[in-house]
Amino acid sequence: MEQIRIFDTTLRDGEQTPGINLNMAEKLALARQLERLGVDVIEAGFPAASKGDREAVTKIARELKDTSVCGLCRALPSDIDACWEAVKQGVSPRIHIFLATSPLHMEYKLKKQPQQVLEAAVAAVKYGKQFCSDIEFSAEDAFRSDPAFLYQVLEQVIAAGATTVNVPDTVGYATPEEYGAFIRGIMDHVPNIEKAVISVHCHNDLGLAVANSLSGVIAGARQVECTMNGIGERAGNASLEEVVMGLAVRRDHYGFACGVDTKQIYRTSKLTESLTAVDIATNKPVVGSNAFRHESGIHQHGVLAHPQTYEIMTPESIGKVQSDFVLGKLSGRHAFALRLEELGFRLDNETIDAAFVKFKELADRKKEVTDRDISALIEKKSLQVQEHYKLQSFQIQTGNNITSIAGVDLVHEDMVHSEAAVGNGPIDAIFRAVDKIVGISCTLENYSIRAVTDGKDAMGEVTVKVRFADRIYSGKGLSTDILESSVLAYINTINRVISDQEAAEA
Ligand code: KIV
Ligand code: ZN
């Protein structure tokens, strides 16, 4: 069966989502999980855009053993040099060059004539080809380009050495019928098209990104660019999990295989959610918490009689396993390590030891520690940023008839710093006390809380987003006590702001 290549751009297009700023450890953790998921290409960043991106792409390319790692670059020698430097140590490096071809972009953004764009595209591909055999060329805003001009550009970049040509619907404007016809037009009018793989890259402004991508596949595309949980600029990109499960569940219709291990989808989705702090909607296809939940009696009865009455795929097929196996405070390190392995976490002894300490602390507070609790602990571990400030203790007085007052003790450079503050409710009071100690003032943009597991003793995960110097930073806190989750999330966010400030000053 013919294969569709899955090109994951969570770490590049996905990371462009406002409010997402992953540190190096988080990017690496996600890249490792994407490799486990079995994607064909990981676009790990835009090396010329920042030192952080360059370092992340370099590290990811060096570290991954099976997956092609790619970097994005503009059609400029300096960008291509930076990209090659970053990806060259990878097992199969790819350079991804983009240049816009639509009249709007050429006139207003690039301020170039079509002929100049054509020449720049060809020159950039030739330049990249000196270093790397695997070159992808993207005609940005391809869908709104003049088809005749686009055919010319694609023909010439293929002749110059491009091995993949990407056809983005950059602004999510296409409908499935139009996009399929557009890809077919490329198949029919670009004479050397059989020398390259056609790739689709669809944005979700009209909610059609997955439908458009699959329509492109039917028309002849053999690579789909997508992001985990569909994160990305504005309404996001095509969701990897929806594309992959669409191809898998409806293989009878599409007739293609792909290399993704669908059983890794749920874990990858959860990891992406916790690292990016972009919550998955409950009704999100495939990975939303309601995706396999049946509320109505008729449906429950049907599913019990035969799952396929109301389920077209099983939770197990995406690796969402309900285990009866619960650990508690009497469980030992051996049982804990075994459970981690069964859950698919491959950790070194040091990390297991650290996680085991956290597990014991949790087991003291919570009767039964479930698989989801354990996964949340591990994901939280990889979320850690440098702890410039660490929570030692906090106290709160609050009620419906009194002004809330909070006291906070934070450890900074081995010294305990204490402050108290009043606030409009307990959370406001704690955050103000932290602000007094840290001495930087951020604007709180968003605060959200959700239960990670079920039951009265469930762990509550708080996500905090703050604005500092025109950037949005987010952090998370996890505890069985929601006030503790809140203060941990706020400190985690502040630590990110400080790390970022330090990196910018370095
Ligand atoms: O949406 C887009 O056009 C892109 C390109 C840079 C590939 O992300
Ligand atoms: Zn894009």
DSSP 156-193: HHHHHT-SEEEEEETTS---HHHHHHHHHHHHHH-TTG
CA neighbor of 502 nearest in space, from 494, 333, 67, 429: 494
User: Ligand 2 centroid vs 231 CA: distance in angstroms?
Assistant: 11
What's the confidence (pLDDT) of residue 502? 83
Within-domain flag for 283: no
* Ligand 1 mean position, distance from CA 168 (Å): 6
- Residue 391 forms beta bridges with which residues? 410
What's the token pair of residue 172? 């999510």
Burial zone of 203 (CB within 10 Å; 0-12 exposed, 13-18 middle, 19+ buried): buried
pLDDT of residue 285: 97
CB 396 within 8 A of CB 430: yes
* 18: Cα separation from own chain's centroid: 12
Query: Burial level of 311, CB count in 10 A (0-12/13-18/19+)?
Result: middle
CB 363 within 8 A of CB 329: yes
CATH assignment of the domain containing 477: 3.30.160.270
| pLDDT at residue 322 in the model | 65
Q: How far is the CA of 56 from the centre of ligand 2 (A)?
A: 19
Q: Which of 219, 245, 276 is the last residue of a domain?
A: 276
164 lines ligand 1 (CB under 6 A): no
Q: Are residues 148 and 182 in the same domain?
A: yes
Which among 260, 251, 246, 236 is positioned nearest to 214, based on CA atoms?
Answer: 246
Does residue 368 fall inside a structural domain?
yes
Do 337 and 446 belong to one domain? no
**Is the domain of 162 the same as that of 234?**
yes
pLDDT for 269? 94
Rg (CA), the chain: 24
How close is the Cα of 336 to the center of ligand 1, in Å? 43
> The domain spanning residue 147 has which CATH number?
3.20.20.70
Looking at the structure, do residues 481 and 462 belong to the same domain, yes or no? Answer: yes
Mean per-residue pLDDT pooled into runs of 10, the chain (506 residues): 97 90 88 96 96 95 97 98 98 98 98 98 98 98 98 98 98 98 98 98 98 98 98 96 98 98 94 88 94 79 82 92 72 85 76 88 81 76 76 95 96 96 95 94 89 75 88 85 93 90 77
The total number of structural domains that make up the chain: 4
For ligand 2, the distance from its centroid to the CA atom of residue 7, given in whole angstroms, is 12
Residues 200 and 336 in one domain: no
Pair (348, 440) in one structural domain: no
Give pLDDT tens digits for 239-266: 999 999 999 999 999 999 999 999 999 9
CA of 194 relative to ligand 1 center, distance in Å: 23
203 inside domain:
yes
Nearest residue CA, atom 8 of ligand 1?
Answer: 13
For ligand 1, is residue 170 a contact (CB within 6 Å)?
yes
Q: Residue 313: which domain range?
A: 292-318
For residue 264, the 8-state DSSP code is: G
Is 185 in the same domain as 56? yes
Residue-level pLDDT at 494: 93
- Residue 360 falls within a domain, yes or no? yes
What's the pLDDT at 383?
52
The answer to whether position 14 is within a domain reads yes
pLDDT at 308: 84
Closest residue (by CA) to atom 5 of ligand 1?
140
CA distance 338 to 371: 12
Pull the structure tokens for residue 19.
């409010």
Confidence (pLDDT) at 382: 53
Q: Which residues line ion ligand 2, judged by CB < 5 Å?
A: 13
* Residue 291 confidence (pLDDT): 92
Pocket test for ligand 1, best of 144, 170, 225 (most atoms within 8 A of CB): 170
Q: Do residues 141 and 168 make contact, with C-beta atoms less than 8 angstroms apart? A: yes
Q: In terms of domains, do 396 and 500 share one?
A: yes
Closest ligand to Cα 223 = 1
- Which numbered atom of ligand 1 lies nearest the CA of 100? 3
478 and 461 belong to one structural domain: yes
Report helix, strand or coil for 405.
Answer: strand
Asked if residue 180 and residue 214 are part of one domain, the reply reads yes
Same domain assignment for residues 312 and 257: no
Instruction: Give a yes or no: residue 286 inside a domain.
Output: no
Q: Is the CB of 74 under 6 A from ligand 1?
A: no
pLDDT in tens, 59-79: 999 999 999 999 999 999 999
The encoded tokens of residue 153 equal 């550009």
User: Is 105 touching ligand 1 by the criterion CB < 6 Å?
Assistant: no
- Global pTM reads 0.84
Residue 426 backbone dihedrals phi, psi, to 5 degrees: -65, -40
Domain boundary among 351, 366, 383: 383
- Alpha-carbon distance of 346 to 13, in angstroms, equals 27
**98 CB less than 6 Å from ligand 1?**
yes
What pLDDT score does 373 carry? 79
State residue 368's pLDDT score: 78
Residue 170 maps to a domain: yes
Q: What is the pLDDT of residue 36?
A: 94
Quick one: which atom of ligand 1 is closest to the CA of 140? 3
The answer, yes or no, to whether any atom of ligand 1 lies below 6 A from the CB of 140, is yes
118/238 same-domain check = yes
CB atoms within 10 A of CB 276: 23
Q: Is residue 81 part of a domain?
A: yes
